[in-house]
Amino acid sequence: MPRERAPGKKLIGAWISAELDSAITLWLAHHPQATLTDFIIAAASEKLDRAGITIHRPDPPQNPSSASAANPGAS
């Protein structure tokens, strides 16, 4: 026999979903060029920072055309 969910779980799930949707929408409004992945990374980084954990991320890769323009002899 399948277990029935507790009546409150559906309500809590809906509330969490609404809060997350609101947070993502607000964050993306302030970072229009960002993606959902950027939001997840920023949220995780903030959580880790609050816990006193620092992660050193490498610099993002450069656009190859802009890199060669900045250093024409590199190619």
| 2's tokens | 């399948």
Give me the DSSP letters along 18-42.
Answer: HHHHHHHHHHHHH-TT--HHHHHHH
- pLDDT in the model for residue 24: 84
Whether the per-residue pLDDT at 58 is higher than 70: the answer is no
Query: Quick one: residue 4, left, alpha or beta (phi over 0 = left, psi -120 to 50 = alpha)?
Result: beta
- pLDDT in the model for residue 53: 80
* Stated pTM of the model: 0.47
Whether the per-residue pLDDT at 40 is higher than 60: the answer is yes
Domain map (residue ranges) of the chain:
9-52
